[in-house]
Amino acid sequence: MTTIGRPARPGDRITDVAGITVGHRHRVDADAEVAGTAGAPDGHGWATGTTVVRISGPGAIAAVDVRGGGPGTRETDLLDPSNTVQTAHAIVLSGGSAYGLATADGAMRALEAEGVGLPMDTRGHVVPIVPAAVIFDLPVGAWDHRPDADFGAEAVRAAAVDFAVGSVGAGAGARAGALKGGVGTASVRIETGPAAGITVGALMIANPVGAVIDPKTGLPWDLGEDELAELGLRRPEAADIAHLAELAKKHTVLNTTIGVVATDAALDAAMTRRIAMAGHDGLGRAIRPAHSPLDGDTIFAVATGAVRPESSDPATATPPGMHADAAIIAEVSRCAADVVQRAIVDAVLAAESVASIPTYAQAAPSAFG
């Protein structure tokens, strides 16, 4: 397995939400090449993987919102707020298209071996709840080289607060339009207002049909000067902008952006789903077009329930008959959109070239300070 990826930054990662850990398992061979390129009409080598977001804590609530026209998912109906089970013990994000859903079997087995899951009796039997979503990365490397149950089990066992981003885990074979995609993450702690003290984080696998770079500017969509400065980016030279535009004309069948938004806020199931819905706003900011008929865009949301702000400000009180936490939910939703957008940008900036797919840094070197 090739060593790739860079460490996620403390203070700007999903694991800043207490109770959330992340594990990867991937396989990337140096000879992996995209199907259809010269010398590799059918693709060869390995370039795929699996990422698991583990959730600890008995009060965690999980939800999901699916927007893409071609989703590959498992256990999403279970997370409907009107249904009985309202938690999850891990969420699997994987390459391999529909075949990659098998990784959730391995994740379940690994959790069961630790005694993690819904307790079913007094003899220690459990059923782990493991929703999953996949990206289509089969043309990268050999078509039949895809993650299986062992990938899921190993990703569960690798889960930790410290983890890598870039061309790792489920992002190993990801492609963001014409550029290399990958795994990205971001987080924010809300300092003021009705949601003060709450942390919101996201982890995203960027593999969209749409573009993550504005062809007119050569930069990620809709980022202000301060945000670009924080990322160490500047407007690229005209030659690089033209190069990016040429790359964008290349057709790719790779598709789907999936991920998890997590918060330590105490939310009910219906409002946790609103956080997943808000995450798609960030996806729409970072990718154009988003939610296409070819994408399976899916965002899970997790609320661990560790923080419940107490506010006495009458300006944030909700009238009788409205949800009591509406002001908190509005602020957490705003942050969910922001961290999803930043996590997708992070995935593209952190990506390393795999299977000869160019990275943003390779395509537009003048954009970097």
Angstrom distance (rounded) from CA 361 to CA 343: 17
Task: For 278-333, write each residue's pLDDT tens digit.
Answer: 999 999 999 999 998 989 999 999 999 999 887 656 666 778 888 888 999 999 99
Is the predicted pLDDT of residue 104 greater than 80, yes or no? yes
The more confident residue out of 161 and 246 is 161
Task: For 187-215, write each residue's pLDDT tens digit.
Answer: 999 999 999 999 999 999 999 999 999 99
Please, is 333 exposed, middle or buried when counting C-beta atoms within 10 Å of its C-beta (0-12, 13-18, 19+)?
buried
216 Cβ partners below 8 Å, 6+ apart? 241
Least confident range of 19-28, 148-157, 246-255, 286-295 = 246-255
Is the predicted pLDDT of residue 40 greater than 50, yes or no? no
Angstrom distance (rounded) from CA 360 to CA 357: 10
Omega of the bond prior to 289 within 30 degrees of 0, cis? Answer: yes
Q: What are phi and psi of 6, to 5 degrees?
A: -125, 155
Tokens of 47: 């370039």
So what's the pLDDT on residue 42?
54
Q: Kindly report the pTM of this predicted structure.
A: 0.94
So what's the pLDDT on residue 267?
96
Residue 200 has, within 13 A of its CA and on its CB side, a CA count of 28
Secondary structure class of 14 (helix, strand, coil): helix
Region 73-91 average pLDDT: 97
The yes or no reply on domain 6-363 and CATH 3.60.70.12 is yes
Secondary structure class of 79 (helix, strand, coil): helix
Segments making up each domain of the chain, as ranges: 6-363
Is the predicted pLDDT of residue 38 greater than 50, yes or no? no
Secondary structure class of 26 (helix, strand, coil): strand
